[in-house]
Each structure stands twice: as C-alpha cells, then as structure tokens.
Structure 1
Amino acid sequence: MVSTNYAPEHAGIGPYATQIAEHWAGSGHETHVLTGMPHYPSWSLDPAYAGVWRRTEHLRGVVVHRRRHTVPPRQTAVRRALFEGTILLHGIAAPPRMGRPDAVLAQLPSLAGGVLGARLAARWRVPYIPVVQDLMGAAAAQSGIRGGDRAAAVAQRAESYALRRGRLVGVIHETFVEPVRAMGVDPGRIRVVPNWSHVPGPSRARAETRKRLGWAEGETVLLHSGNMGLKQGLDVLVDAARRDPAVRVVLMGDGNQREALGRAADGIPNLDFLPPAGDDEFPDILAAADVLAVTQRASVLDMSVPSKLTSYFASGRPVVASVAAEGGTALEVLRSGAGVLVPPEDPDDLLKAVRRLAEDPAGADALGAAGPRHVTAHLSRADGLARIDALIDEAMGGPLT
C-alpha cells in the first residue's frame, strides 16, 4: 500500500489505510506500507519523528516504510506542491526494500501517493489499484488558497496519470464516478467501495462524559470534530456561537486554520476548543454532544464523504450538515436518515436547526438512532474491508491462496 497517512494518525484517510493493512496482515499476507511521517491533522511533524529521514517499523504485523517530506503549517499552492514533490522524490529515491508484491494499492489523496503507487506497480509489473478518497484537483480549485487555479491544473494532470494506470479504480462514493471517467478512465474499470465507520460506538454514559468535560445538564452542545482547514468553513460555527450564547459550540481537532479560528473566537465565552481526542475517548465525546456539525464553504461542492461522518453516525447523535445540497456529504446524510441539511455558511439557519433539535429531545434521539442502524446495514468495518479485498481480487484475476 502507498498512503501518505498512516497510524498513529487518527483522522482523515490514515485510519482506513491502517485498518486495511492490518486486515491484510491478519489474514496472513506479507504487508508493506510506504507512507510519510505523522503530521495530520495538525500539519506539524510528530515530535517522535524529529530528525528522522527514513525509518522501517513493524506495527501489528505490518512493515511500515516511512519517508521524510515537508510539512507546511500553512497552505499555499507552492507549499502544497513542495509537500507533494518531496513525498514523490523521496519515495522514488528510496523505494521500500522488499520482494516483488502481488499488487499495489494507493490511496488518493495525496497526488504523490497515486503517482508513486503507479510507478512502483509498473516497476514490479503487478496490478495497480488506486482508491479515490478525494480528488485534489477539485479541492485546489475551490480551496481559496493562493495559486489555487494553477495548483488545480497540475493536480488534475497528476490524478489523471495515476488513475488511468489503474487495473481497476476504486471510489468511495458514486459522486466520484463521473469526474474519474472524465479523466480518461473507462467506466467499466471503476468500482464503488464505500468507506466504513472506523470507530466503535460509545462505551460510557453520556452524563458521565458531559460532567467530565464541564458541559452542564440541559446545556445544548454543538460539536464539530476533525480537520480545521479552509475547506471546512468553520467560521460559520464561530458566528453561530457569537449569535446565541445559549448554545455551547465545541471545535475538537486541529488543522492549519486552528490559530485563525482561535483569534476569531476571542471573547466568545460559549465557544471551546478541544485537542484531538484519543481513540479510547473519541466515541464517548461525540455521543456526549447534543448535535454534531459537518460544515463546508459555500464555494465547495465536495464529492467526498468526510471520515468524520461515519464516526458521527456511529455515535447515535443527530447531524446538522451545513453543506452544498448536491455533494457527497449531503447525499450520505439524507441516505442515513440521521441528520438534516442547512445551507452552507449560514449561521442563522444552522442555529434554527440546532434549536429545533434541542426543543425536541425525543425527535433528536430518534434522528440520531438512525445513524448506528445505517452503520450496521451499510458501513460496517467487515463489509468495508471485504469490498477492498474483492476489488484487489478482481484486479488480480482471482483471490490469493
């Protein structure tokens, strides 16, 4: 596997890469992962890897080959290009020292991971299978970062290169099928392989966790968990907190906009920041909130489904999605029956939805209960991993024995 993100990263695509690789190893396959240094979602290098250029680790049966790259604390087109370029160049200069594999799977993003996966598979003459978690070209065009249009053009060329070389191409949502086809991939080679809920359900009573976090009984808590980047448009939650002191807004996680959001939130007593939660407490914190928020900027038509959403569903709490109605996130919220949609970047409509849920606890609980049912029916880990196995088996012409 080639994936820029891997354990100990616990947000974004890292948990999926980790669980796939550990599943392979647990099934008796020799499993290697080419990855970067832990840095996400804080976009700062994990101190445990300071000064490390290359390292080979053995984690839960998986051989993990790490290569150093730049880590831009702030996103610009140039810095993102340098990030991707250093991943690509170091991976080419120092590929994993291992025997010829049976197949290579790569997760996109990043662009460099896709290109590296294609090159390694060609070198070994084995099937190459890219899995699209997101498309960087569209994201760069909508990001608002300087040089975004030029970055988008470069990203789309790299994505097209990586995807057209796949024996099969996996996409995590049907909204990706048309953009991938437009890059020159035969639609007959595209397979939909949805992500799964990679966290367990809550294990502690809500009241216990709320007391530990200092959330008063009867207080309405609106929580957003995950990456704090430009794409998320989290200013809408800052504005919501400013407009309604009766709603406690909690931003849990990290990202390159964390500092700017902190400045914007100065003087708002009902807005709290929490660091990323550990795996052991993350499900309980989600379940302790009253409403879970997923947000995007109005200019973003996001085809992907954020990893946070599958975790939200598992928590049993209702979701308010402040997103474009045509994107993958909106479609998945409606499909689950576990949440409501509001227009993006509209704090008033967002607050109205939160208040309606707070005023109808039984209705909110019923809405939230649809999430775990959706996970059980469509987003279980076993089913998700089986879909990945089937994708690789098909690309190879039959299962490994």
Structure 2
Amino acid sequence: MRVLIVSQYFWPENFRINAIVASLVDRGIEVEVLTGKPNYPEGVIAPGYRAFGLHREQWKGALLHRVPLFPRGRDSRLGLLLNYLSFVFFGLFCGTWMVRKGKYDVIFAYGLSPIFLAIPALFIGWLKGSKVIVWVQDLWPESLSATGYVRNARVLHAVKWVVRWIYRHTDLLLVQSHAFEAPVAALAPGKPVAYYPNSVDGTFAEPPSPDVLLPVVPALDEGFAVVFAGNVGAGQAVEVMVETASLLKDVPQIRFVVFGQGSRWDWMHEQVQSRALTNLHLPGRFPVNTMPGLMQKAGALLVTLADEPIFAMTVPNKVQAYMAAGRPILACLNGEGARLVGEAQAGLSVPAQDAKALAAAVLRLYQMPSEDRARLGANGRRYFKAHFDHDKLVDELMAHLRATSKTGEDAV
C-alpha cells in the first residue's frame, strides 16, 4: 500500500504523526509525507532548514517533501496567520509539483489546527484519483473563538463554510474524541465518521532507559512535584497554575514544574518573578526521549484546559501520555478529558480554571498514602494499555487505510 501523509507539522517537531509514520513503514507501508519547514514551537525555522525553497529528505524509511513556510513567530497573530496560510498555498502549488510522480492508494491528512491543511490533501487526491482521510484533532471554527484568535462572527461563519466544504469532500473522517462525532457529522451529512483516539510512544509506559541521560531538575527531585508537560498556551488556561501555586506557596513541599514552552510562557515567567512564586518552576523544553523518565519522577501529572465548550469535547494528548507514565493525574478541565480520567480511576478531576478546587485536589493527593497514589497511577497505565496502546491503534489505522483506499481489498 502506498500512502501520502499531509501534515503541516512533522519531525523534528514533536507530534503524534511521527510515531505513526515510523510504525507504518515498519509494517511494510510505502509512506511519503508532505509537510512544511519545522518551526514549532519556537516560532523560528529549525537549524539545518530555511523557510523558502523545496527540500526532500528521508526519515526512518519515509520520503519527506518539505514546502516553503512562513515561521509562526513568538506570540504573533499575524505570524500565525501567515504560517497557516503559507502551508495551504505552498502545499497546493509546490507540494502538488513535488509529489507529481507519486501514485497513492490513500491520502491521510493529520488535522491539527488549522484544518485548512486538508485542502492540499483534497486537491492532490482529486488530481490522482486517491481517497482522502482526515484525522480531526481540533474542531474549527470553535477552536479559533475559544482561544481568542478570532471573535468576528462573519469571519467565523466563513471559516465554518470552508470546514464544511473540507468535510464533505473527504472520504473518511476520523475524530480523536467521541464528543467530536456529532459536530463533525453535522457538517458532513452522509460521510462516515469514526472514533480514532491519540496515543503516545510505548516508552512512556516503560521504565526509563539507562541510555537516556535525564536532565537535572532540582524541583523534580525534592518534595512533591506536580508536573505539567506540553504547550504553554492560551488554550491550556495556564493562569490556573499560577493561581494554584500562589494559593499553595505556604506548603513548601509542593512544587509545580512546567515542562514546555508556548505563547503564554513569557507571561508565566513574569508572574513567577512579580509574585515571588518560589514553588513554580519553568525549566522549559527538553528532548522528547527524556520526557517519560521526567514524568515518572512526578508526584502527580497536571493537565489543564480553558473553560470553553469546545475544550470540554477535547481529549488533550497529554492525558494518554500521563496514563502511560503511571502517575496519578490531576485533571483541571471539563467534559471528555475529565470523564476519561474518572473512568480509568487514574486521578482527580476538578472544573476547568477553578484554582481553589485544584489547590484542594493537589493537597488531597499530597496527603494521600503513597500506596493509594501508586494505585491511581497503575489504574491509568492499565487503562492506557487497554484503550490507547500504540501498536493496537496503528493496526486500526491500517484497517481504515485499506478499507478506504481506492484499491480496497486489493491494496497490499
């Protein structure tokens, strides 16, 4: 089977699609990837690449086609808009030329924001007579309004029209949350919609490798560390972490450690300084291969989302990573993500953006007997292996690819 994956984000950027591509290649699938120049999350083009010009390279057996891309910049709405639009534009014109000789049984679009990245996938699919699958990771236009990037009703209506067009021209829509099924189906009547959740690399569920040198993070090795890992942005409502740390600053054994960066990292750093929050630590980003070991040192793992209806339907990918890591989870969010943590009996959930409730939950975990905390972590890991195991989900994806491909059962 020959598959073209279209994703604005790809290695060395750290996204789920990387592990999926590697596993598909290992299973004998011929994979090509149409992507942009890496610039996430720093907002500048990664060393070894340049924004303009076409670039091809091999990665773990997959052929990568990189089109020009405007870097997103740091906390710049204009930069982000140009970043989004440039991938659509260059994907349509340069990307189509770069894959002109390719023949594909199916095209798979990794639908992180913006969903517009599916447009080049649909155009290439139309040219080549290939079926197209879109894996919807975020609901648009709801995500735009929830994060505050766009509030204008006319603009949101126009975006919704484009999203409806994308969905209606897709052969299969995969959704990362059960709560996405109804809103996606409403914009794509008659189109098949299937639940296909995220996972993480299996190393998150294994003891740290002795070959991986973990960075020294003193705040993680002393006291009770509450760890947040991932994007530090508007959607994560990081204000609740600052407020919770402020409420608990008189409990010196409790420390908050934030691994990651994003548009709100500078603001958090300013708050740490202005409020003298010695219990809130921002060590930044570290290589992805160190994250399983760092997470497994935590007393608890924290996931937060803003109090918006769209985020109540979303399952942040860090929920799966936290379950795999086998540490108790503190879920400060609403809806589907909180439901999963509760169903797995993997930790404690409190309403989104409720700092007082989160502080109480942190204290409850801190005061809990260690064997009870260990039980919560074990429950999460058991749930991960039953529902989100990487290999199991890759097998499911291959079944979707085969069933949807233009050659159907004849594709091998």
3-state DSSP of counterpart to 2:230: strand
One-letter code of the match for 2:363?
R
Q: Alpha carbons of 1:236 and 1:150: their partners in 2 closer, same or farther (altered >3 Å)?
A: farther
Deviation, structure 1 residue 203? 2.4
Correspondence for 1:338 = 346
**Pair 1:312 & 2:312 matched:** no
**Pair 1:371 & 2:380 matched:** yes
3-state DSSP of counterpart to 2:296: helix
**Pair 1:265 & 2:302 matched:** no
Correspondence for 1:323 = 333
One-letter code of the match for 1:305?
V
**2: CA distance, partners of 1:72 / 1:210:** 30
Deviation, structure 1 residue 182? 1.4
Q: Deviations over 1:145-182 (max 9, x none)?
A: 35464553343223222221111111122111111111
Correspondence for 1:32 = 32
Contact 2:230 2:261 in 1 (8 A): yes
**2: CA distance, partners of 1:101 / 1:91:** 17
**2: CA distance, partners of 1:191 / 1:374:** 21
**2: CA distance, partners of 1:242 / 1:374:** 33
Correspondence for 1:3 = 7
Alignment match of 1:108 (pick from 101, 108, 111): 111
**2: CA distance, partners of 1:62 / 1:374:** 31
3-state DSSP of counterpart to 2:366: helix
Alignment match of 2:291 (pick from 273, 276, 282): 282
Contact 1:292 1:312 in 2 (8 A): yes
3-state DSSP of counterpart to 2:72: coil
Q: In terms of mean alpha carbon deviation, does 145-154 or 160-169 score higher?
A: 145-154
One-letter code of the match for 1:398?
E
Deviation, structure 1 residue 387? 1.2
Deviation, structure 1 residue 130? 0.8
Provide structure 2 residue ranges, at least 5 long, that are not aligned to the other structure: none
Q: Deviations over 1:110-152 (max 9, x none)?
A: 3232111111101111111111111231110111235464553
Q: Deviations over 1:57-115 (max 9, x none)?
A: 10110001111222233556654432221111111111233322111010112323211
Contact 2:208 2:292 in 1 (8 A): no
One-letter code of the match for 1:8?
P
Q: Alpha carbons of 1:87 and 1:318: their partners in 2 closer, same or farther (altered >3 Å)?
A: same
Correspondence for 1:395 = 404
**1: CA distance, partners of 2:344 / 2:156:** 32
Alignment match of 1:357 (pick from 357, 361, 365): 365
Contact 1:77 1:146 in 2 (8 A): no
Q: Alpha carbons of 1:51 and 1:211: their partners in 2 closer, same or farther (altered >3 Å)?
A: closer
Q: In terms of mean alpha carbon deviation, does 345-354 or 96-105 score higher?
A: 96-105
One-letter code of the match for 2:173?
V
Trace 1:1-400 onto structure 2 (pairs within 5 A): 1-10=5-14, 14=15, 16-74=16-74, 78-95=78-95, 96-97=98-99, 98-109=101-112, 110-145=114-149, 147=151, 149-186=153-190, 189-200=192-203, 201-204=205-208, 212-215=216-219, 219-245=223-249, 246=252, 247-266=254-273, 267-302=276-311, 303-324=313-334, 326=335, 328-360=336-368, 361-396=370-405, 397-398=408-409, 400=411
Provide structure 1 residue ranges, at least 5 long, that are not aligned to the other structure: none
Q: Alpha carbons of 1:3 and 1:51: their partners in 2 closer, same or farther (altered >3 Å)?
A: closer
Contact 1:171 1:193 in 2 (8 A): yes
3-state DSSP of counterpart to 1:272: strand
Contact 2:144 2:150 in 1 (8 A): no
Q: In terms of mean alpha carbon deviation, does 270-279 or 172-181 score higher?
A: 270-279
Q: What RMSD in Å do the two structures reach over aligned CA positions?
A: 2.3
TM-score by length of 2: 0.89
Contact 1:43 1:255 in 2 (8 A): no
One-letter code of the match for 1:285?
L
Deviation, structure 1 residue 202? 4.5
Deviation, structure 1 residue 194? 1.6
TM-score by length of 1: 0.91
Aligned length: 392
**2: CA distance, partners of 1:313 / 1:289:** 13
One-letter code of the match for 1:309?
V
